């Protein structure tokens, strides 16, 4: 008779367990949502940290370039402290022209985007010494 009694209460036990499960179901759903949200926030923080590091590296590079007085812009070079006079630009002789390839042609400009020479074969050809150096120089857009 005892076996019959335990079998008789089995459906009630299952229904009560299901009811308790339904009571705690919102807790499990919110925990899952919190985990998903925490993972998304962690990914965003990682991306932001990477972007911050990139910005810091770019700022350091820009500061070093500003300090050197030369600003490379692809196949062009801008000299910040150039004054157009009959004397040869002082900064060019000091700069390491070996950084450029021997077959590389780099047009050199002043702050006003006016061509002042060309670097060819790792040598600076100044417009006052070589008249044809700036004839084929590309025009740089002054709007930034």
Q: Quick one: which H or E segment has residue 108?
A: strand 105-109
Look up the domain containing 57 and give its range: 1-68
The predicted structure's pLDDT at residue 111: 81
Sign (positive or negative) of CA dihedral 18, 19, 20, 26: positive
136 within domain boundaries: no
50 within domain boundaries: yes
Instruction: Verify that 87 and 40 share a domain, yes or no.
Output: no
What three-state secondary structure class fits 125? strand
Average pLDDT by stretches of 10, the chain with 144 residues: 64 84 78 83 91 90 72 63 72 63 79 84 83 80 54
Instruction: Verify that 60 and 76 share a domain, yes or no.
Output: no
The predicted structure's pLDDT at residue 79: 73
Instruction: Verify that 61 and 110 share a domain, yes or no.
Output: no
- Residue in the block written with tokens 């009571």: 23
Pairing of strands 105-109, 76-79: parallel
Total tally of structural domains belonging to the chain: 2
What three-state secondary structure class fits 116? strand
16 within domain boundaries: yes
Write the CB contacts of 128 (distance below 8 Å, at least 6 apart in sequence): 86, 88
Of 21, 36, 68, the residue at which a domain comes to its end is 68
The predicted structure's pLDDT at residue 140: 74
Instruction: Verify that 54 and 93 share a domain, yes or no.
Output: no
Instruction: Verify that 22 and 75 share a domain, yes or no.
Output: no
């Amino acid at each position: 008779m005892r076996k019959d009694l335990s079998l008789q209460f089995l459906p009630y036990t299952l229904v009560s367990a299901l009811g308790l499960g339904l009571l705690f179901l919102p807790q499990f759903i919110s925990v899952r949502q919190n985990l998903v949200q925490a993972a998304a926030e962690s990914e965003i923080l990682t991306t932001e940290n990477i972007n911050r590091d990139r910005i810091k590296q770019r700022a350091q590079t820009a500061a070093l370039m500003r300090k050197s007085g030369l600003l490379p812009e692809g196949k062009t070079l801008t000299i910040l402290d150039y004054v157009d006079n009959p004397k040869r630009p002082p900064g060019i002789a000091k700069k390491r022209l070996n950084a450029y390839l021997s077959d590389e042609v780099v047009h050199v400009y002043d702050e006003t985007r006016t061509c002042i020479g060309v670097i060819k074969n790792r040598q600076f050809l100044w417009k006052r010494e070589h008249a044809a150096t700036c004839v084929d120089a590309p025009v740089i857009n002054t709007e930034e």
